[in-house]
Amino acid sequence: MPDIRYICVSDLHLGAANSVLTNLDHDGNHVDGPAPMLTAVIDALRHLVRASGTTTPPTLVVHGDLFELALTTMEVAANTFGQLVTAAWGDADDPLFADEVLFVPGNHDHHMWELVREHEYEDDLHGAFRQIPAMRHVTPLLREKLPSDDYEPLVGVLARRALSDAGSATKLRFHVHYPNLGLVDDGADRAVVITHGHYLEPMYRAMSFLHNVVTPERPPRLSVAELEADNWAWIDFFWSTMGRSGEGDDAAIPVLYELMQHEDAMDAVVDRVLDDALPRTRSPMRRAERWALRRAGRRVAAMIAARERHHAAVLSAAATRGLANYLTGPVRGQLVNELTRVPDRVDLVFGHTHKPFAAGHEVAGYEGPVIAHNSGGWVVDAVQAEPLKGASIVLVGENLEVVDLCIYRQEPDASHYRVSVTEVDAGPDEPTPFRDWLANVGVRPDDEPWAGMADLAARTVRQRQYQLEQRIERGTFAVRTEPPVGPRGW
């Protein structure tokens, strides 16, 4: 039987109101204790690990958006994270995962990396002789090349606190990689590169684009360090810290974020802003000015809302180019720098788009096709069913064989929810013992715990769709009916 070495998940968005792993009642109020879906996933993974005969607990890899730091408070996100930690590691005699976790922050928890980066810089300053050192923007790809010190990142402090509160003696350690983590076999013939995936999308490379506009002599292909140096502040501000402006449920950014994804609601927001800044008059000039500004506001809102996760394909043409360029530039550069060559077989595991899939891509500079595995997301972004979206768990076996276990897709018909092993539509012709075992023995969709988890996913997704619809209706009504405040209203 196969040995499960790593279990990879992303886009849990713990604490977010649209996450199926956040415990909410029917009306969307937070409830104490772990969400039923979170408990079901942990129980199903325990079942799978035991059935596989794995003797050493697998290592958990979380590659981005573990926390929701843009659309909820740190307290809410930390409480939900504590429930996950307690469920997985609370029993010190029977932990689901190994006591070391590999964490690759994403755009929604990018600030976790910033805290680590600033601490590493403090160490560099203490060790520097005369000259002030430059601040590092990325970590090495390989685990053994990470700086070694006694620093415990915030995610580790939160985990330790949760375990202590639960009376557990488990000692848990988090190692933070950013933006890429590499798993390599002994001969460096096979590698699995794990990242969040936001750099595949043009919006997250916006500052690099502007940099290249004003300095056209700059080489177009960037290293991973240059890419992060250009864009880190933009990502950290807009997706990981700005959303925490305000207090609790009254914070404006989470409401605006949801309203911006729906045309009617966004029209109401644009009209409200114009009512405050440019009151309606009979002046032809003022009416023309207002019309132009309204069109511009709608255009900007549409551009922000039209991100990769809302595209009608698993990857847009822009993201497909971004994937190829990211592999050819930043990823290949790290592989060559740390291994001296590109392994014969490379798999890329990422998330971010909330659309799980597995497919091969021919990429310049690689011996064979790179198999891209997307782990999807555990959130509901729209009030209607989106069948391309859902959640997968990516499993890595002892020989770095990568298999995608799709937990659910957001189908319009609840009876179509079904756990499945994802087929790969491209790749080298080689034995796949781990995939074969999972598809034929390890996961039987009509049996428990898989059938029950699929049914629970269907109910939870539908509940989140209803709750999102209610929040949008309330927000739109408030925007349209509250009297204008204007700049002097405060």
DSSP secondary structure letters along 14-25 = BT-TTBTTS-B-
306-355 per-position pLDDT tens digit: 567 777 889 999 999 999 999 999 999 999 999 999 999 999 999 999 99
103-115 per-position pLDDT tens digit: 999 999 999 999 9
Where helices occur in 350-444 by DSSP H, the ranges are: 433-437
What pLDDT, on the 0 to 100 scale, is given for residue 309? 72
> How long a stretch of residues is the chain?
490
What pLDDT, on the 0 to 100 scale, is given for residue 307? 65
- What letter represents residue 183's amino acid? L
Q: How far apart are CA 453 and CA 439, in angstroms?
A: 17
71-88 per-position pLDDT tens digit: 778 888 999 999 999 999
State yes or no: pLDDT of 488 exceeds 50: no
Rounded mean pLDDT of 201-211?
92
Using 50, 70 and 90 to split pLDDT, how confident is the model at 356? Answer: very high
Per-residue burial over 66-80, b if 16 or more Cβ lie within 10 Å, else e, is: bbbbbbbbbebbbbb
Q: Which of 28-32, 271-275, 378-382 has the lowest mean pLDDT?
A: 271-275
